[in-house]
Chain A
Amino acid sequence: MKTDDHRDDIAFTERVRSALDAAGVPDDVVDRLGAARRQAVAIADARARIVPLPSRWLPMGAMAATVLAAVLLRGPPNIPAVPFDDDLQLAAVDDLDLLENLEFAAWMVESDAGDAI
């Protein structure tokens, strides 16, 4: 019967497991397995102690971000405005007008003086 066969399989597997568990391993093999295990655990332990790079740089990054935010919130530094080229040209034109006005004023003065004579 299928169920009996299945039960036999389970019982057989149990016997195999017991036999495998009961079989020993030579002492020198046990020692070498233990040494290999200790080496593996030491490696895992050493790797766990290494602080991951992002964590190590995190405080410095946070500080840099804070400084940048503070600078941005304060606004741009008070630097005197440098006139643009257009402004310079306009200033030049103004100066020319003034010069012409001065010439005109001088002519007027001279004219007035001539009239007075």
Chain B
Amino acid sequence: MNDAAALNQFLAGVERRAFRMARFSVHDTDEALDIVQDAMLMLARRYAQRPAAEWPPLFFRILRNRITDFHRRRSVRAGIFSLFRGAASDGGAALEETIADGQGVEPEYRAQLDGATQQLERALQALPARQREAFLLRAWEGLDVAETARAMQCSAGSVKTHYFRAVHSLRESLGDDWP
């Protein structure tokens, strides 16, 4: 298998999960798609020649950096607009509440999900970002602790801590009867 075919296979395998991970963080389908596309292009441009085994942590690290960039841009925009509105903190809190209530999920997207999955998505969105990343990379993407640490640019110990807390927060918020 040549490099292009291997890269195609890798990206095809991760693209939907990457999209949903991005979506959990940015709560917007178009933004999530742009972020995943950027991550794909960056991997292709800079790291396609690297061994295929290195792609998963590299790809998710790029994805994570793109998500961070998105939040940074949004914070700057919110700060600028708040100068005119004079209510930055209230707006930010309202946005977080909307997301936590699951109202941030677009109707066409929500239609794809059953009740249990919607409940799960809300619980995942309510997690702190680092815990959610650690949980999704470890439990869903199947990266080991070292790979997750590389993707998250932190120590293996931090990954274990975030993952442990994420599992227990999710269990607590979803309850024993889920799904």
- Give residues in A with beta carbon < 8 Å to B: 8-9, 12-13, 15-17, 19-26, 29-30, 32-34, 36-41, 43-45, 47-48
A29 CA to B178 CA, complexed, in Å? 28
Knowing A22-B117, A25-B20, the reply to whether A40 touches B140 (Cβ < 8 A) is: no
Q: Is B152 an interface residue (CB 8 A)?
A: no
Number of residues of chain B lying within 8 A (CB) of chain A: 39
* Interface 1/0 per residue, B24-50 and A, CB below 8 Å: 000001000100110011011100110
- Which residues of A lie under 8 Å from residue B60 when comparing CB positions? none
B120 in complex: contacting residue of A19, A30, A37, CB < 8 Å: A19
Q: Is B94 an interface residue (CB 8 A)?
A: no
On whether the beta carbons of A16 and B170 are closer than 8 Å, the reply is: yes
Q: Is B7 an interface residue (CB 8 A)?
A: yes
Knowing A40-B7, A40-B11, the reply to whether A12 touches B167 (Cβ < 8 A) is: yes
Q: Is B113 an interface residue (CB 8 A)?
A: yes
- Which residues of B lie under 8 Å from residue A40 when comparing CB positions? 7, 11, 37, 40-41, 43-44
On whether the beta carbons of B112 and A23 are closer than 8 Å, the reply is: yes
Knowing A22-B117, A44-B4, the reply to whether A32 touches B33 (Cβ < 8 A) is: yes
- Which residues of B lie under 8 Å from residue A39 when comparing CB positions? 37, 40-41
